[in-house]
Amino acid sequence: MTPTLLGRWQTRIVLFATVGALFTLPFALGIVGPDASGIPFLVLFYLALLGLIWDVLYNYLQQFRWDRDWPAVFQLIAGLWEAIFFSYLVEFIDLPGLEPGVPLQWFAIHYSLVWLGMFAATHTLMRILFPYWRFNGGQLF
């Protein structure tokens, strides 16, 4: 893919708000995971927020590539990196609303599902619903 910064931001926000929220719902309702709470949504919110900052870095790195592209494998590496960073962050910093010691295995499951859902959506659903999306560097508006 060849996203632009604006495209990364827009796509991230839209996907977190839709696919991300959908995959978070079972965790928030307690169908999956420890018990029903708003925490999974808060985690999702922080991930999205941090992601908007990571996007600036990714976009910068893209400039060093002749094709100015972002291979799918980079999407995966970025996804792993964001997860690791976040799990360390909650260990050491008190994010408002999140107590340290979020159960790591549940975070890993929640995060993997959200990430896989969004990864799949960028390669399928986004293209099918928005034919112009891939020509606009991921911009929707």
Partner 1 sequence: MNSSQRQEVKLSWEDPVTSEYQNLLVQIPIALGRQLNQMPGEIAQRQVSRVVLNSSAVSRYHALIDWENNSCVIRDRNSKNGILINGQRRKNTILESGDVIEIGPYEIIITWGGDNKKSIFETNRSQIFFNPITNSLDSESEGIPSVVTTASESDRFPPPEFATPLQVSLQDIYTSGLSVDEIDYLTIGAGIGSFVFVDCLRIFGVTADKIIALGIDRKPYSRYKQLCLNSQIPLKERLRSNSDSCPDNIWGFPSYAWREAWHDLLRLRLFDAIGNLWQVFAEPTLAQTYTPRAGNVFDSIDREIKRIGWEKMYRYGRVLAIRKTTDGRYAIAYSRGTRDKRERAFLIANYLYLATGYPAIKFLPDLQAYREETQDFQSVVNAYEAHDYVYENLKKRGGTVLIRGRGIVASRIIQRIYETRRDNPNIGVIHLMRSPKPKGNQFKKAERFVENHFEFQPFNWPKACWGGDLRFQLERADSQQRQSLIADWGGTTTAARKDWRDTIDEGLREGWYKIEFGQVEKVEKEADFLITYIKNKNFKSTIHLQTDYIIDATGLDADVKVSPLLNDLVTHYNLPLNFAGRLAVSNDFEIEQMRNSTGKIYAAGAITLGGPYAAVDSFLGLQYTALRAIESLAASRSPGLKKLSPLNSFQQWLKWLNNRSPDE
| Cβ-based neighbours of 109, under 8 Å, separated by 6 or more | 32, 33
Binding-site string for partner 1 from residue 46 to residue 75, where x marks contact by CB under 8 A and - marks none: ----------------xxxxxxxx-xxxx-
Looking up tokens 């995966």, which residue turns up? Answer: 76
What residues between 1 and 20 interact with partner 1 by CB under 8 A? 2-4
What residues between 97 and 136 interact with partner 1 by CB under 8 A? 123-124, 127-132, 134-136
93/128 with CB nearer partner 1: 128
Query: Using CA atoms, how far apart are residues 8 and 6, in angstroms rounded to an integer?
Result: 5
Residue 141 binding partner 1, by CB under 8 A = no
Q: Count other C-beta atoms under 10 Å from residue 10's C-beta.
A: 19
Number of continuous H segments (helices) and E segments (strands) in the chain:
6, 0
Query: Using CA atoms, how far apart are residues 136 and 116, in angstroms rounded to an integer?
Result: 23
Residue 69, token pair as written in the block? 């592209």
Phi, psi dihedral angles at 40 (to 5 degrees)? -55, -35
The CB-of-45 to partner 1 minimum distance in angstroms stands at: 25
The CB-of-13 to partner 1 minimum distance in angstroms stands at: 16
The CB-of-108 to partner 1 minimum distance in angstroms stands at: 22
The CB-of-133 to partner 1 minimum distance in angstroms stands at: 9
Interface residues toward partner 1, by CB under 8 A: 2-4, 62-69, 71-74, 123-124, 127-132, 134-137
